[in-house]
Amino acid sequence: MKTTKIRLAAAIITIIALIPGCKKDNGNNTSVFAGNYVIAGAELSAALTVPTVEAGNVPIPAGTDITQLIQTALLSAVNCTSADKSYVELREDYSLYLSCEGTNELNAGTWEEVSPTTLKLNMNNAAIPSSPTGIVLTVTDVVANQSNLTGITSVPLPKAMIAGVLAVMQLTLSPSAPEIFIADFAVDFTKK
């Protein structure tokens, strides 16, 4: 009988000791990537060769500023007066939204923290209307701090966008050009 009481007392003490450990963790488990970001800069990280009517294959060198092109490609689905008012929202629930100063929110898909240096943006066809299935952007070599996030990624650009870039250079895209060009670029997101 005495042994049973000792075992019962030990079991009660053990349960009492474990109960505080069963509380829901209220710690901050939010990803360092969560936040609202403006696309502050983008430049080619590898040369992009584009066929033209006038000059044949024209290389667009690494380091070329393509900020406006990327802002247009990624934020065109959001109706906004300027690119600096448009931003990407990486929400704490891992949903991805595009918006214009917090209005005109567009559910653009989801995002994943693959590793401390890799981020995946799963953008749906509402965000990328030119792609019926959307696109997945994997951003590697990510460096995040309190004010910005930088990394390297690739984005498919339709030939109409490339034609617009060439028009500025007074060149015409060749009719034999592919429908999609893959641009490798470094991107800088500034926290809003």
Written as six digits, the tokens of 26 are 């209220």
Q: Is residue 57 part of a domain?
A: yes
Looking at the structure of the chain, the number of domains it has is 1
Q: Is residue 22 part of a domain?
A: no
Does 112 score more than 90 pLDDT? Answer: yes
What amino acid is encoded at 161 in this protein? M
Q: Is residue 76 part of a domain?
A: yes
User: What distance in Å separates the CA atoms of residue 9 and residue 5, rounded to the nearest whole number?
Assistant: 6
Q: Is residue 144 part of a domain?
A: yes
Q: Is residue 152 part of a domain?
A: yes
Q: Is residue 19 part of a domain?
A: no
Read off the pLDDT of each residue in 84-95 and give the average, rounded to a whole number: 91
The CA angle 42-48-52, to the nearest 5 degrees, is 125
Q: Is residue 8 part of a domain?
A: no
Does 171 score more than 80 pLDDT? Answer: yes
pTM: 0.76
Percent of the chain with pLDDT over 90: 51
Q: Is residue 78 part of a domain?
A: yes
**CB neighbours (10 Å) of residue 63?**
11
Range of the domain at 118: 27-191
Residues 74/155, Cβ–Cβ less than 8 Å: yes
Nearest to 84 by CA among 126, 41, 120, 123: 41
**CB neighbours (10 Å) of residue 110?**
16
Residues 27/13, Cβ–Cβ less than 8 Å: no
* CATH code of 112's domain: 2.40.128
Read off the pLDDT of each residue in 1-18 and give the average, rounded to a whole number: 41
Token pair 């053990």 in the structure block, residue: 14
Written as six digits, the tokens of 192 are 């809003």
User: What distance in Å separates the CA atoms of residue 15 and residue 99, rounded to the nearest whole number?
Assistant: 50
